[in-house]
Amino acid sequence: MPPERIPKTITKGFPKPPAYATDWGAMYCGDSLEHMRSMPGGCVDLVVTSPPFALVRKKDYGNLEAERYVTWFAEFGHEVKRILKETGSFVIDIGGSWLPGSPVRSTYHYKLLIELTKPGMLYLAQDFFWYSPSKLPTPAEWVTVRKVRVKDAVNTIWWLSKTPFPKASNERMSVEYSEAMRDLLRNGYTAKKRPSGHDISTKFQKDRGGAIPSNLIVVSHTTSNDYYQRRCRETNVPVHPARFPLDIPLYFINMLTDERDLVLDIFAGSNVTGWVCEHMKRRWLAFELEADFVKGSTYRFEKNSPALNGIEYISGKKEVKFRRLRMTSSPAKLPTGQKRGM
């Protein structure tokens, strides 16, 4: 499929040319709020991003204190709603935080969700949870020193939508059947109600090649010497300290967009989202404020940069018995909530 350029009507109001452009998209160095305000309404199919988190300890990528975070982010939410198509979605990967000097959790990311889903704003299509088995045991004071809390290894991911029926399909992903399910398909079963009241019909005997995945996404984020990081070190360019694992944007881009749709990352960092879109034939825009991170992100698009080469949803370690998630390109076009045949 030949690339399709982003219409100039979308980018003509941007304050300056892109830092770089590819066949499918462009990266802009600057304030994402300023860029969004110059875009026409209803032009984006998906906004997927991992913003700076509201953490107790300051990071190099510019995080804010929790008490200021909701007010700050709400401005972005209003602009995202305006530029989304009616069938569009807004996916936010956001980690939790702790209250300063205390083993008590902040509720800022839940307050943000409530702010973004107020009447007249967005809908919560579904909440997801990204579990990273490789997370370090933090916060160290309460986990490894005083030992009164457990390791914080889950991020929340809010899937928001402009209407209750955005484009989406779980048919594009499936989880490998468990051995028990394979036995059921081989040997059959008696259709009847379970003690829980669920009515298990004969339709469950149809082999569909895999099960519908859950809203728990398992990704071990352990990469420390990939092509992007090696090139940054070779040129003394700072490596982004909070890189998006490719599996997260890949999951939602596949489930919520069709080929040639427009995907935007408003806190692009090292531009993993744009790189995934490039390989999935989605048009993309990326906004990043820090010039060093923009410079480093160019390495993802070099000729020698490896292709999108796999999914890390399930750990390869035998003791972690998660079933692998598989992706397909069907259905050819995504539905918007209409009833589908069994």
CA angle 218, 171, 204 (to 5 degrees): 95
268 and 249 in contact (C-beta within 8 Å)? no
**Neighbour tally for 125: CB within 10 Å:** 20
Active-site residue, from 32, 45, 51, 213: 51
H or E element, residue 93: strand 84-94
Whether 60 is catalytic: no
Q: Supply the DSSP string of 194-248, one letter for each residue.
A: -TTS-EE-GGGGS--SSBPP-SEEE------S-HHHHHHHHTTPPPPTTPPPTHH
Mapped onto helix, strand or coil, the DSSP state of residue 183 is helix
Q: Which long-range contacts (CB under 8 A, 24 or more apart) does 315-318 make?
A: 315/133, 315/218, 315/220, 317/133
Give me the residues paired with residue 47 across strands.
90, 264
Whether 40 is catalytic: no
Provide CB contacts within 8 A for 174, sequence distance 6+. Answer: 208, 209, 210, 211, 212, 213, 325, 326, 328
Whether 100 is catalytic: no
Provide CB contacts within 8 A for 82, sequence distance 6+. Answer: 36, 41, 42
Active-site residue, from 18, 32, 89, 93: 93
254 and 277 in contact (C-beta within 8 Å)? no
Active-site residue, from 50, 89, 220, 315: 50
Estimate to the nearest angstrom the gap between the alpha carbon of 47 and the chain centroid.
9
269 and 240 in contact (C-beta within 8 Å)? yes
CA angle 321, 241, 57 (to 5 degrees): 100
The residues carrying an active-site annotation are: 50-51, 93
